[in-house]
Structure 1
Amino acid sequence: MLNRRRAKVLEILSRRPDVLEILVDVDGERCKAICYPDLTGEVSRDDEVLVNTTALDLGLGTGGFHFVICNLSRPEEEKSPPSGRIMKLRYTPVQRSVVSVEEDDSFTRRRMHDFVSLDGMPVVCCELHSQIAPVAAAVKTVSGYLVRIAYLMTDGAALPLAFSRLVKDLKSAGLIDRTITCGQAFGGDFEAINVYTGLIATKQAAKADIAIVSQGPGNAGTGSKYGFSGIQQGEAANACSILGGTPIIVPRISFADSRERHRPVSHHTVTILSEVALFPCWVPVPNMPEQKLAEVTAVLKRAVSKAGHKIRVIDADAGLEEMARKHLQVKTMGRSVGEDREFFLAGAAAGVLANELLRKSQK
């Protein structure tokens, strides 16, 4: 199902790199819409545009936005000659070419070709996009901002990196140094064809000391055992191990989620640790009140019993303190740090552990 409606642009509400938030009139109703100028061409006030209304028509939210398909007032627009030969969003009307790190024409080609191993590089694998903030904040603060971080965004959720306000804020705050988008995801500082070359690029192209991997905003879930896009967390951990890195799985911990299947440890995490992540991983658990810690570790111990994963309890408050110092407003499923502290602490614990493992590997 694809619902399309004509709309009139009333106002440009905000402009971020590669994305506009606009106010449009759809049949007399004022609505917010997202426009990616690289895909649709620029839009201005009073332009007539065609918008995709499907998600809101279904009540799915998507942040409360329609999405601009094209500018009907300017259906043709001259662009600079296309660069690169790798297509993303392949075989759709908005397929676009990029210069991927693997291509002969890429300045990173030689570095990628010279790759041998990740050499134990810590790779923090997240299920949800919001987890990357406490991971990055913790790494930076405990390392004294001496560690370079690359964020690899997979294609399980939002495909344009530009849709993520969080990544923009983390880069502006100096918490992420470089970005890579892999698969059909696009818009990173570097483009990669798959998660393997994406991970290689974090080391060879982005020159990172630590990598963070997650899907973009917009996790898809069904309540079923395997039917969630965040299952890529386990796939990324496997790729990390195959390439010689040190995978760290951020457990999805919450005592505030209204859904029992996500308390105190999400069934997603249990599935990933017990069935998807096939190589030994580190599983950091944030220090928390005794009863909560006992509940969390009991679930995790059952999940890791057959796979050889290693659980570590970590003091992680420094990561959340750094997020507050940087004035980062991050939410998970609508809940703030104050409302779901343990969720964010788990990410911070992963960041602290990643820095510890990095230091040990450098000795």
Structure 2
Amino acid sequence: MRQHLERGTIAERLGREVLVEVNGKLERALIDPHLAETAAVGDIVLLNTTSVRLGLGTGGLHFVISIEGKSPSTPQADGHIMKLRYTPQQIAVHAVEEQSHPMHAVMAEAESLLGTPVVICELHSMIPAVAMSLQQELQNERQTRDEEKTEPFAPRVVYVMTDGGALPMRFSKTIDQLKQLGLLTATVTVGHAYGGDLEAVNLYSGLLAAKHVLGADVILCGMGPGIVGTGTRYGHTGIEVGLAVNAVHALEGDAVVVPRLSFADPRPRHQGLSHHTITALGRVALAPATVPLPNLEDGQASAVWKQITESGLHRRHRLVGLSGASILDASQRFPVPLRTMGRTLAQDPAFFLAAGAAGEWVARQKKRPQRRVLSGSSNVE
């Protein structure tokens, strides 16, 4: 077990971050909101520099642990549920399930998602693409409905963030952008993740809170930025996709899984359909899910379909074909950067087209009750 701790001096405030002088160099550090209220230029801070010193990508900045001579602001709260339990950084949150929470009575009665679609994303970078494509598809629908003089559908979209990646919601700049643009209505943080509009003890109650407390019409579910992987079949946090399918099924929701596709990732295990998706859906998910597949070039489509048939996913899950191209228009309309593993939409189109297909699928359920299901070919609509 390794942990790098270093001291530095705050040189500049940068919103949610600070610029710190460490060993004669200026380096970025993320600061907790409670610490940020008291932080000032010239303060000496204790930093966790582990991720930077190990050369990690996502999470590759320092984290302020404390400010010398200052205590963090601690707003009054009734919560008694601890997250980051039994660590020096443990914090008390007011979980939505607690008896002292205003929504306790609602949560005590909540049992079902009532068929609500839950779009399950392995990587955080899928979240904005799904949200943007959903809204783009609905915008196209609104234009048609304006001509027909019918009422448009304006869904409440809630993001449930798991603890498979970054734990503080604040770490994601993307979520702030999506909320400001109206692409997300609210957020829930579950497990040891924290900082959402609602806190929940686990994924099951977090999904129910999204539906019954926040009134979600569509739920996006996935980890925060960063994913843990080891190159082994089960040793990665993306395995939670299968667990989420099981949770949604148990709660009577409609599980929609974004497949992890790429033809730009240099690692063979992530070429075409990632081994993460194959394992999560082929070995971990015990219930069927809808898996939207985007329109790809013929060679790419054939390669993906071969992986699907060899792993038997077509027998376990509902595969549907859509364009996915709504993400192309959405990327021009919404000022939200799209990037995964350092690659842009132009550099890794298959990845984002898959997320776009998921957004299209959810949006089009409000338009057309019948969709074509793939059952032996890689053709798409």
TM-score over 0.5 for the alignment? yes
User: What is the distance in 1 between the residues matched to 2:72 and 2:300?
Assistant: 57
Tell me, which stretches of 5 or more residues in structure 1 are unaligned? none
Q: Which residue of 2 aligns with 1:265?
A: 273
CA 1:40/1:312 → structure 2, altered by over 3 Å: closer, same or farther? same
Q: Is the Cα–Cα contact under 8 Å of residues 59 and 226 in structure 2 kept in the other structure?
A: no
Matches within 5 A, 1:104-253: 104-144=99-139, 146-253=154-261
> Which one of the candidate residues 47, 55, 60 is aligned to 1:59?
55
Q: Which residue of 2 aligns with 1:5?
A: 6
Q: Is the Cα–Cα contact under 8 Å of residues 125 and 338 in structure 2 kept in the other structure?
A: yes
SS in 2 for 1:30: strand
Residue-pair matches, total? 356
User: What is the distance in 2 between the residues matched to 1:227 and 1:26?
Assistant: 34
User: What is the distance in 2 between the residues matched to 1:358 and 1:117?
Assistant: 21
TM superposition shift of 1:347? 0.6
User: What is the distance in 2 between the residues matched to 1:305 and 1:340?
Assistant: 23
Q: Is the Cα–Cα contact under 8 Å of residues 140 and 147 in structure 1 kept in the other structure?
A: no
SS in 1 for 2:255: strand
CA 1:216/1:196 → structure 2, altered by over 3 Å: closer, same or farther? same
Q: Which residue of 1 aligns with 2:33?
A: 37
Q: Is the Cα–Cα contact under 8 Å of residues 121 and 358 in structure 1 kept in the other structure?
A: no
Between stretches 138-147 and 65-74, larger displacement belongs to 138-147
RMSD: 1.9
Normalization by structure 1: what TM-score? Answer: 0.93
CA 1:247/1:54 → structure 2, altered by over 3 Å: closer, same or farther? same
User: What is the distance in 2 between the residues matched to 1:305 and 1:214?
Assistant: 21
TM superposition shift of 1:358? 5.3
SS in 1 for 2:261: coil
Q: Which residue of 1 aligns with 2:379?
A: none
Q: Is the Cα–Cα contact under 8 Å of residues 254 and 264 in structure 1 kept in the other structure?
A: yes
User: What is the distance in 2 between the residues matched to 1:113 and 1:194?
Assistant: 14
TM superposition shift of 1:323? 2.7
For 1:290-324, what per-residue CA distance to the aligned partner results, in whole angstroms no more than 9, with x for missing partners? 22212112212333448520111111211331132
> Which one of the candidate residues 23, 47, 52 is aligned to 2:43?
47
TM superposition shift of 1:222? 0.7
User: What is the distance in 1 between the residues matched to 2:197 and 2:51?
Assistant: 29
CA 1:187/1:321 → structure 2, altered by over 3 Å: closer, same or farther? same
Q: Is the Cα–Cα contact under 8 Å of residues 18 and 31 in structure 2 kept in the other structure?
A: yes
For 1:124-176, what per-residue CA distance to the aligned partner results, in whole angstroms no more than 9, with x for missing partners? 11100000111111222222361111100000110000000111111111111
CA 1:272/1:307 → structure 2, altered by over 3 Å: closer, same or farther? farther
User: What is the distance in 2 between the residues matched to 1:153 and 1:118?
Assistant: 17
TM superposition shift of 1:360? 6.5
Between stretches 37-46 and 149-158, larger displacement belongs to 37-46
Amino acid at match of 2:181: A
For 1:191-243, what per-residue CA distance to the aligned partner results, in whole angstroms no more than 9, with x for missing partners? 10000001111110110111110000011111111111111111111100010
User: What is the distance in 2 between the residues matched to 1:328 and 1:353?
Assistant: 21
Q: Which residue of 2 aligns with 1:72?
A: 68
Q: Is the Cα–Cα contact under 8 Å of residues 12 and 41 in structure 2 kept in the other structure?
A: yes
For 1:47-87, what per-residue CA distance to the aligned partner results, in whole angstroms no more than 9, with x for missing partners? 0000011112222244431111100142x345333331111
Identity across matched positions, percent: 41
CA 1:71/1:167 → structure 2, altered by over 3 Å: closer, same or farther? same
SS in 1 for 2:272: coil
User: What is the distance in 1 between the residues matched to 2:342 and 2:85?
Assistant: 32
User: What is the distance in 2 between the residues matched to 1:109 and 1:120?
Assistant: 22
Note if 1:278 corresponds to 2:274. no
